[in-house]
């Protein structure tokens, strides 16, 4: 098994649900954090969800204050192969961030 620490960056350009990470096949992923930054001049509602096995679950749904950065994962979160992490923001072009995770890959 290979253990690899990685970061994936994202920037939202719309208010549509946007896939920001998909766990690769033959890989379990331990998400350490999803840092979400707002550059807007007012508060922005942000939602994170995970789609697994055809079902979608909201894991974070909060307002991000003006000019702040928050962590959308308060504790570690495990994603299995094929799970999809998605984000939605109420305002376009003001939310960006980084996903920090450990990928555990098997052959």
Is residue 30 within 8 A of residue 80, CB to CB? The reply is no
Of 98, 52, 59, the C-alpha closest to 77 is 59
Angle at 69 between CA 36 and CA 103, to 5 degrees: 45
Residue 107 scores a pLDDT above 80: no
Q: Of all residues in the chain, what percent carry a pLDDT higher than 90?
A: 96
**d(C-alpha 21, C-alpha 29), whole Å:** 10
Whole-model pTM over 0.85: yes
């Amino acid at each position: 098994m290979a253990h690899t620490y990685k970061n994936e960056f994202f920037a939202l350009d719309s208010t549509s649900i946007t896939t920001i990470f998909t766990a690769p096949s033959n890989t379990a992923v331990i998400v350490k954090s999803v840092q979400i930054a707002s550059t807007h001049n007012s508060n922005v509602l942000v939602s994170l969800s995970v789609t697994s096995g055809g079902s979608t679950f909201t894991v974070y749904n909060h307002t991000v204050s003006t000019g702040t950065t928050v962590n959308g994962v308060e504790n570690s979160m495990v994603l299995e192969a094929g799970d999809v992490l998605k984000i939605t923001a109420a305002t376009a072009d003001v939310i960006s961030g980084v996903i920090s995770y450990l990928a555990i890959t098997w052959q």
